[in-house]
Amino acid sequence: MSTPKIAFIGAGSVVFTQGLLADLFAFAELKDARIALHDIDAERLSTAEAAARHIAAERGARPRITAHADRREALTGADFVINIVQIGMGEATRTDFEIPARYGLRQTIGDTLGVGGIFRALRTFPLLKALGEDIAAVCPDAWLLNYTNPMAMNVQYLAEATGLTRVVGLCHSVYWTMRDLSDLVRVPFEEVTYRAAGVNHQAWVLRFEHDGDDLYPRLDALIAADEQLRRRVRVDMYRRLGYYPTETSEHSSEYVPWYLGHDSEIERLRLPIGAYLDIVDENVASYEKTRDALATGAPLPVEGTMEYAPQIIHSITTGTPRTIYGNVPNHGLIQNLPARGVVEVPCLVDAMGVQPTRVGELPPQLAALNRAYLSMNDLVVRAALEDDPRHIRHAAMMDPATAGALPVERIWQLCDDMVTAHADRLQPALRALLG
């Protein structure tokens, strides 16, 4: 491939854009890439452009950087599209927490499942459909690398609503879980062999080895000896299910009915209710700090993030083979999960593109949890594809944490309140009130 063009959609997520660019420009073969930045917020777009030029200079890169208020202009001729949008930004996220909280529904992150995940998806789908149409029109051979949550819902919607096939969802949870586990058992990460599979934010470490030896017994001994380790949701799930989950305790607590509905479990497992609202504030502060540093010429750190998108771009561009973890439509990759659902599996990446690995069957207890997750996802996607507002309520009814906390009538009333609050961001047919 000649010099690639990489379009960033939602480039105003400046801190994330910075990390991705630092990773991209660390590759010698990508130092002259064409970078097209798009955002609907003019100030954030200007800040992203300034940050990109600063990072390129610090990395000794010579990219062609352009900034575009028009999305299709940014996409024209792109080889790779990185989607990092957040529809509604912090205001919408606060709504996702504050309205459910009035019903007594507890959330920690609220971006993947649950009421927060449902409505984050529904307000993102119209953008994804328009983005898919633009890609089909001006860069039909591009790879769409999606970082926007809720990951599995968004990738399923893209596959079914747009017909795009070169789509992969990317998340760093598997990588950082394995880094953390390696540190915990005191084995260098580079020497660890592992395999994980499942769904995004609820995948499972199926193999965890060093020189052919299973490292799970060493992890078991550490957990048995450390009471504080046992006060984490993901450790509690591991002890009961037999395989370590690849997402944080804060995330994991929201995808099952066992924890957030019980005061004693919140205390035992130290669950921070509403934690993501603090992250929203931190993200705004980080953006403002970056903006002000660029404006005044103050030093700005350039740090890589080890994200998958730059590695994928490098592998496809140069033919260098790598294994990454990607979120893709199942189609038999995990036999005991729904075919239409989006699964997270190892993927080979080289000049031929992103090639998912067939995993086979998950242990039945893991597949059971994943199926509940994918069933809720499917209802949210069907609500949008079929213009059926009832499926929004069906999804909330099937969500384990929501169903465990509220009677069905209150779930429908909550959905009405959420629809009213987010109505201007939802497709028209989904704005109906049914409670």
DSSP strand pairing (342-350 vs 244-245): unpaired
Cβ atoms 345, 359 nearer than 8 A: yes
Structure tokens given for 40: 């609907």
Active site residue 172: yes
| Residue 322 phi, psi dihedral angles, 5° rounding | -145, 160
In sequence order, the β-bridge partners of residue 340 are: none
Token pair of 186 as six digits: 């005191």
Instruction: Using alpha carbons only, give the angle 56, 57, 61 rounded to the nearest 5 degrees.
Output: 50
> Which of the following is catalytic: 38, 54, 68, 172?
172
* Structural contact between residues 26 and 62, judged by C-beta atoms closer than 8 angstroms: no
Rounded to whole angstroms, how far apart are CA atoms 12 and 154? Answer: 20
Maximum CA pair distance of the chain? Answer: 60
Q: Which residues of 131-162 are buried (b: 16+ CB within 10 A; e: fewer)?
A: bbebbeebbeebbbbbbbbbbbbbbbbbbebb
User: How far is residue 116's CA from residue 108's CA, in Å, rounded to a whole number?
Assistant: 10
- By annotation, the residues acting in catalysis are 172
